Chains A and B, each alone.
Chain A
Amino acid sequence: IAGITQAPTSQILAAGRRMTLRCTQDMRHNAMYWYRQDLGLGLRLIHYSNTAGTTGKGEVPDGYSVSRANTDDFPLTLASAVPSQTSVYFCATGEEGGTYNEQFFGPGTRLTVL
């Protein structure tokens, strides 16, 4: 593994189904993030985690949940998908606090909810 991996690359999902997007990093960064990208809106933060065992809500958390059982993994779950959750989802990592403030992004997951 090099950097950040996301799975699946893309998915078509029926409304009402449960879906988990996976994100794994090998950079040992403390902080991890989930963003969604929608045309004309840029990227918006869904949930974040400062460190393993903690999570927080971002700008658009409704309909999503996350967990951070360890440093490397940060899955995003849609409990009951709706068409408005059709988007491209990016996982990111970074070093929390201090002056090292760059975020590294995964390749993204394209999700379509029908």
Chain B
Amino acid sequence: AQKVTQAQTEISVVEKEDVTLDCVYETRDTTYYLFWYKQPPSGELVFLIRRNSFDEQNEISGRYSWNFQKSTSSFNFTITASQVVDSAVYFCALSEDQGAQKLVFGQGTRLTINP
């Protein structure tokens, strides 16, 4: 069975600090996809990134970066020089490559950036 664990329930940092959100996953599939979504206080879910299991190359997008390590089944998300607008709940998710791409979500990490 698939499972995604985000052990950090809440994180609070001061603006401009770097922060890493952890995500550990479990799956028996060799082909799978990992995602990060952002849910700001307004409630909508905003897609951030998708990574497939064959691509372990880390990715950087502006202040955001993702570290995918199959050896530890982790897909961590780092925000560099955090800003107040980064305050949100962040979800890591996993889907198999079989039929409908059903997402299994982690519990979410509430990130608060204080000015």
Q: Would you call A42 and B45 a contact (CB within 8 A)?
A: no
Q: Number of contact residues on A: which range applies?
A: 20 to 34
Majority SS of interface residues in chain A?
A: strand
Q: Would you call A101 and B95 a contact (CB within 8 A)?
A: yes
| A35-70 interface bits toward B, Cβ cutoff 8 Å, 1 = contact, 0 = none | 100001111110011100000101100000000000
The yes or no answer to B14 lying at the interface (CB within 8 A) is no
The yes or no answer to B60 lying at the interface (CB within 8 A) is no
Q: Would you call B91 and A42 a contact (CB within 8 A)?
A: yes
Binds A, one of B64-72, B80-88, B100-108: B100-108
**Which of A44, A90, A103 is the one whose CB lies under 8 Å from B101?**
A103
Which of chain A's residues have a CB closer than 8 A to the CB of B37? 105
| B40-75 interface bits toward A, Cβ cutoff 8 Å, 1 = contact, 0 = none | 000111010010100000000000000000000000
The yes or no answer to A75 lying at the interface (CB within 8 A) is no
The yes or no answer to A19 lying at the interface (CB within 8 A) is no
The yes or no answer to B99 lying at the interface (CB within 8 A) is yes
How long is the Cα–Cα vector from A107 to B104 in the complex, in angstroms?
19
Q: Would you call A103 and B107 a contact (CB within 8 A)?
A: no
How long is the Cα–Cα vector from A92 to B45 in the complex, in angstroms?
10
The yes or no answer to A96 lying at the interface (CB within 8 A) is yes
**Which of B47, B50, B101, B105 is the one whose CB lies under 8 Å from A43?**
B105
Known contacts A31-B100, A42-B91; 8 additional CB pairs below 8 A are A35-B103, A42-B4, A42-B106, A42-B108, A43-B93, A50-B100, A96-B99, A101-B52
Measured CB to CB, the residues of A under 8 A from B are 31, 33, 35, 40-45, 48-50, 56, 58-59, 88, 90, 92, 94, 96-97, 99, 101-105, 107-108
